[in-house]
Amino acid sequence: MRAARNVAIIMVLALIVAFLPRGDNFAEALMTALTLGLLAGIAWMLYTFSRENQLTLATLTDGRRAILYGAFGLIALLIAGSDKMTSTGGGTLLWIVLLAIAVAGIWRVWMDANTLS
């Protein structure tokens, strides 16, 4: 029953986009709202993560903290500029490389912070 309800919701939204005047504007507004919800969820997750790991973040050296925050900032910029960057093949490749660099920086700092030495 739940699956039928979900399919019905999707069908109603598709009908709005397909047959109502300015349905494309509705679809764009819906995608914008979903994107903002995703970004708000990511921001809340980062806030919660920083509150739960205050001691770990406080014991990082300034260089490692700069790498960590810089990587998160790079990811935010990549999300913000994804439409422009992914419009060309080279931009898409650069976007993927920059995302990999940011993830690798976060992973490296996290592994160094949680390794006993």
For residue range 65-110, list pLDDT tens digits in order: 999 999 999 999 998 899 899 999 999 999 999 999 999 999 999 9
Does 51 have pLDDT greater than 90? Answer: yes
Distance separating alpha carbons of residues 91 and 87, to the nearest angstrom: 7
Distance separating alpha carbons of residues 110 and 108, to the nearest angstrom: 5
Distance separating alpha carbons of residues 21 and 113, to the nearest angstrom: 55
Distance separating alpha carbons of residues 31 and 25, to the nearest angstrom: 10
Which residues have CB under 8 Å from 63's CB, separation 6+? none
- Read off the pTM: 0.69
Q: What is the pLDDT of residue 117?
A: 60
Q: What is the pLDDT of residue 25?
A: 83
H or E segment and range at residue 61? none
